[in-house]
């Protein structure tokens, strides 16, 4: 029964049955299997399922079925398998193209030319459409051009070109070894360029410094000439009337540039020039003087000028003297103040505006302690700073210097610890001198023993500090001085201090108008004063009944001979003093001020000799004491004409070669013609 045809097998089986064949079971089984296999093929064809078709075809072939359904099923299975393989191939192609797209995107982001080239090659192999590769091809083209331009810039070593091309490469995101080379070269070129620029800047600065020095030297020469001319004119003026000249300022000229409703701004003293200290500058509205001028108005600020403030406090006790410092007019209504100060033999009108360095809303330096609206204290300090170039220039000094510059008086100082002063203390002559000076309206100050002004003695005296002497009184045998600390605090704690209740009897309180106030003002006994202070400063303010005559000279070149310790002493300028009658004279030698000039005061002194006319050698008569580096030294003595020869005055610095200008001035009471002081060089012209 090997035939695979169902119909043939069925016909054979029917014939066998008819023939009476007994064993037909195997045939019937085969027929059943073939029928089932054919039905399986029909079912599989109906479903079109590949697995079902594959199983049905395999079964039919195993049974050897020969039927149209087997051929149809085999063809259907082959078609299904072909379509499946095609789909798989299509999926693989799509995956390759998607992978190529991702590679193109990554290569575009990487900025690497080699990555782009590889990605484009893979895209071509993957069959990616051309339009999808155009953007990357354009990027590759740009990067190749940028790389080429960058390579050219590296080869040219042009800094500007390299910076431009490297900027373009960075903007495009180019990642290439040439970028690293370009960056390294750029750093090198920039370093070279910076070095070149520094060299050029140094050369420019050197030329500017040379030009600046040249201009400064020219300006110095010009100013020296102007100063010489000015001094000659001033000397002529002094010879005419014997008075200190005044360099005046016309406020109306300064106010011409101020718009209506505006305020004057000083162009010559801006904040940057005025101080190295950094403070905000603000215009200070207020009133020049509130409730009068008083020592208690003064409070020291962040500037080491206690010596000047002590002088101001002394002057405040002599209100008419201090009021002359302020040139009154209506200019202050527009923020302009004019303050008159003495400097190198001349009163100078100094114009300032009302802008001040401030700290915590108040003037940073000197200020009024009694009224925030009062301006005379900070404005006077500002004018003094301007006259000397800056606030920094007025740190450190002597009270007598400040007193002279505020009054035009005659400065002097007494060292309280030398032998001569100790003798005068013991015999009472120093007290008599201090009392007499105070009673005559002259002004006094003092300096405590050397030290830092952060050091305060057990008795309350600030070390290395300047104090005002406000009053000198002798009551019931008590010799007392009233002093003031410009800080407005830190007072004496010994006898006659505020804490010494036993000394301050009701009678003494009334006699001295004593007030127990912690304001920096205190009383102390003369005996304590000379032990706790090292220097007494004096400023004589002479009245209109005094005559004066001054001469001017200089220690320069050969004439800078130094003191008597040197053979060149005789080369110093000599001046003749001629008198008609016995006179008590005050002679003052004053060297040119050094404050704010960058130089220092020299140690100076002078002596008076008596000699026959025309001779440079004679008998010693008097001297100004030990050489000292103060602005002025003086001699007060009685002089008689004729006896023992004429009087000659010779001043000098301590060491030879110390060059500066100086003045020698004589003061006396009486007729102006009774005393003549002139240079020995003009002796013939002067006559007898």
**What is the rounded distance in angstroms from the CA atom of residue 405 to the CA atom of residue 74?**
131
Q: Given the DSSP bridges, would you call strands 246-247 and 346-353 parallel, antiparallel or unpaired?
A: parallel
pLDDT of residue 276: 80
Per-residue pLDDT reduced to its tens digit, 569-584: 999 999 999 998 899 9
Average pLDDT of the residues in 108-122: 81
Could you say which DSSP state residue 295 is in?
Answer: G
Helix/strand/coil for 82? helix
Residue 569: partners with Cβ closer than 8 Å, 6 or more residues away: 561, 562, 563, 650, 652
Q: State how far Cα 60 lies from the chain centre.
A: 108
Local confidence band at 336 (pLDDT 50, 70, 90 cut-offs) = very high
Q: Is the pLDDT score of 231 beyond 90?
A: no
Local confidence band at 501 (pLDDT 50, 70, 90 cut-offs) = very high
Per-residue pLDDT reduced to its tens digit, 128-156: 888 888 888 888 788 888 888 888 888 88
Average pLDDT of the residues in 188-209: 90
**What is the rounded distance in angstroms from the CA atom of residue 125 to the CA atom of residue 144?**
23
**What is the rounded distance in angstroms from the CA atom of residue 75 to the CA atom of residue 198?**
91
User: Tokens at residue 110, please?
Assistant: 């990487």
Q: Is the pLDDT score of 662 beyond 90?
A: yes
Catalytic residue from among 133, 306, 315, 603 = 306
Q: Is the pLDDT score of 560 beyond 90?
A: yes
Residue 287: partners with Cβ closer than 8 Å, 6 or more residues away: 373, 374, 375
- Is there a catalytic annotation at residue 122? no
Domain boundaries 410-539, corresponding CATH code: 3.90.70.10
Q: Is the pLDDT score of 683 beyond 60?
A: no
Average pLDDT of the residues in 641-666: 89
Domain ranges of the chain: 247-398, 410-539, 543-679
Looking at the chain, the whole-number percentage of residues with pLDDT higher than 70 is 92
Q: Is the pLDDT score of 74 beyond 70?
A: yes
pLDDT of residue 398: 87
Residue 154: partners with Cβ closer than 8 Å, 6 or more residues away: 162, 178, 181, 182, 185
Q: Is the pLDDT score of 173 beyond 90?
A: no
Local confidence band at 230 (pLDDT 50, 70, 90 cut-offs) = low
Find, among 474, 317, 333, the residue nearest to 403 by Cα: 317
**What is the rounded distance in angstroms from the CA atom of residue 27 to the CA atom of residue 9?**
8
Q: pLDDT: is 662 or 65 the higher one?
A: 662
Average pLDDT of the residues in 611-636: 77
Q: pLDDT: is 474 or 161 the higher one?
A: 474
- Is there a catalytic annotation at residue 465? yes
Q: Is the pLDDT score of 198 beyond 50?
A: yes
Q: pLDDT: is 103 or 380 the higher one?
A: 380
Q: Is the pLDDT score of 410 beyond 80?
A: yes
Give the mean pLDDT of the chain. Answer: 86
Highest mean pLDDT among 320-334, 490-504, 598-612: 490-504
Q: pLDDT: is 490 or 523 the higher one?
A: 523
Average pLDDT of the residues in 384-397: 93
Catalytic residue from among 332, 388, 465, 532 = 465
Local confidence band at 596 (pLDDT 50, 70, 90 cut-offs) = confident
Average pLDDT of the residues in 330-350: 89
Catalytic residue from among 332, 388, 485, 647 = 485
Q: Is the pLDDT score of 620 beyond 70?
A: no
Q: pLDDT: is 244 or 343 the higher one?
A: 343
Could you say which DSSP state residue 374 is in?
Answer: B
Local confidence band at 619 (pLDDT 50, 70, 90 cut-offs) = low
Domain boundaries 543-679, corresponding CATH code: 2.60.120.380
User: Tokens at residue 484, please?
Assistant: 């003031």
Handedness of CA 186, 192, 196, 197 (dihedral sign): positive
Helix/strand/coil for 265? coil
Residue 451: partners with Cβ closer than 8 Å, 6 or more residues away: 463, 464
User: Tokens at residue 273, please?
Assistant: 């020039």
């Amino acid at each position: 029964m090997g035939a695979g045809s169902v119909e043939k097998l069925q016909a054979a089986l029917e014939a066998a049955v008819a023939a009476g064949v007994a064993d037909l079971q195997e045939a019937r089984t085969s027929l059943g299997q073939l029928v089932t296999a054919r039905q399986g093929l029909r079912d599989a064809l109906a479903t079109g399922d590949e697995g079902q078709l594959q199983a049905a075809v395999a079964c039919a072939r195993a049974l050897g079925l020969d039927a149209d359904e087997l051929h149809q099923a085999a063809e259907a299975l082959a078609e299904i398998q072909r379509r499946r393989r095609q789909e798989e191939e299509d999926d693989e192609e799509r995956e390759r193209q998607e992978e190529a797209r991702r590679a193109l995107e990554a290569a575009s982001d990487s900025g690497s030319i080699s990555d782009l080239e590889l990605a484009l090659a893979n895209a071509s192999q993957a069959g990616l459409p051309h339009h999808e590769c155009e953007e990357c091809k354009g990027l590759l083209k740009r990067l190749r051009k940028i790389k080429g331009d960058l390579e050219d810039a590296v080869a040219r070593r042009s800094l500007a070109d390299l910076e431009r091309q490297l900027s373009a490469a960075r903007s495009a995101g180019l990642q290439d070894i040439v970028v690293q080379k370009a960056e390294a070269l750029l750093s090198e070129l920039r370093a070279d360029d910076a070095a070149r620029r520094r060299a050029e800047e140094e050369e420019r600065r050197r030329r500017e410094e040379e030009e600046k020095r040249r201009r400064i030297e020219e300006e110095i020469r010009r100013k020296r000439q102007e100063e010489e001319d000015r001094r000659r004119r001033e000397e002529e003026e002094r010879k005419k009337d014997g008075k200190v000249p005044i360099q005046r300022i016309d406020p109306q000229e300064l106010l011409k540039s101020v718009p209506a409703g505006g305020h004057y701004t000083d162009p010559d003293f801006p904040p940057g020039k005025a101080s190295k200290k950094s403070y905000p500058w603000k215009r200070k509205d207020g009133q020049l003087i509130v409730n009068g001028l008083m020592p208690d108005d003064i409070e020291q600020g962040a500037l080491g000028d206690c010596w000047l403030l002590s002088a101001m406090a002394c002057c405040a006790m002599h209100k008419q003297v201090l009021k002359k410092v302020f040139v009154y007019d209506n200019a202050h209504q527009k923020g302009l103040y004019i303050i008159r100060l003495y400097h190198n033999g001349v009163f100078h009108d100094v114009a300032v505006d009302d802008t001040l360095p401030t700290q915590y809303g108040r003037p940073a330096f000197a200020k009024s302690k009694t009224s925030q609206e009062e301006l005379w204290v900070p404005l006077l300090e500002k004018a003094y700073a301007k006259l000397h170039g800056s606030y920094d220039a007025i740190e450190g000094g002597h009270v007598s210097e400040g007193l002279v510059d505020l009054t035009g008086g005659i400065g002097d100082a007494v060292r309280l610890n030398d032998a001569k002063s100790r003798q005068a203390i013991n015999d009472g002559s120093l007290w008599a001198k201090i009392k007499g000076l105070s009673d005559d309206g002259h002004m006094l100050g003092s300096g405590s023993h050397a030290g830092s002004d952060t050091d305060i003695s057990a008795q309350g005296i600030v070390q290395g500090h300047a104090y005002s002497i406000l009053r000198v009184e002798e009551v019931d045998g008590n010799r007392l001085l009233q002093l003031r600390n410009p800080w407005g605090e830190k007072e004496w704690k010994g006898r006659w201090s505020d804490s010494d209740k036993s000394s301050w009897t009701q009678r003494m309180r009334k006699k001295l108008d004593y007030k127990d106030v912690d304001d920096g003002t205190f009383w102390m006994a003369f005996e304590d004063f000379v032990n706790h202070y090292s220097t007494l400063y004096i400023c004589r303010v002479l009245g209109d009944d005094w005559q004066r005559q001054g001469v001017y000279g200089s220690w320069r070149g050969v004439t800078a001979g130094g003191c008597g310790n040197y053979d060149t002493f005789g080369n110093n300028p000599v001046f003749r003093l001629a008198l008609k009658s016995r006179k008590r004279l005050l002679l003052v030698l004053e060297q040119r001020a050094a404050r704010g000039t960058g130089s220092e005061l020299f140690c100076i002194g002078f002596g008076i000799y008596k000699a026959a006319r025309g001779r440079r050698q004679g008998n010693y008569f008097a001297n100004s004491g030990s050489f000292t580096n103060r602005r002025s030294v003086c001699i007060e003595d009685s002089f008689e004409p004729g006896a023992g020869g004429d009087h000659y005055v010779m001043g000098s610095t301590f060491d030879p070669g110390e060059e500066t200008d100086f003045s020698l001035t004589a003061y006396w009471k009486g007729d102006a013609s009774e005393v003549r002081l002139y240079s020995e060089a003009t002796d013939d012209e002067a006559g007898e």
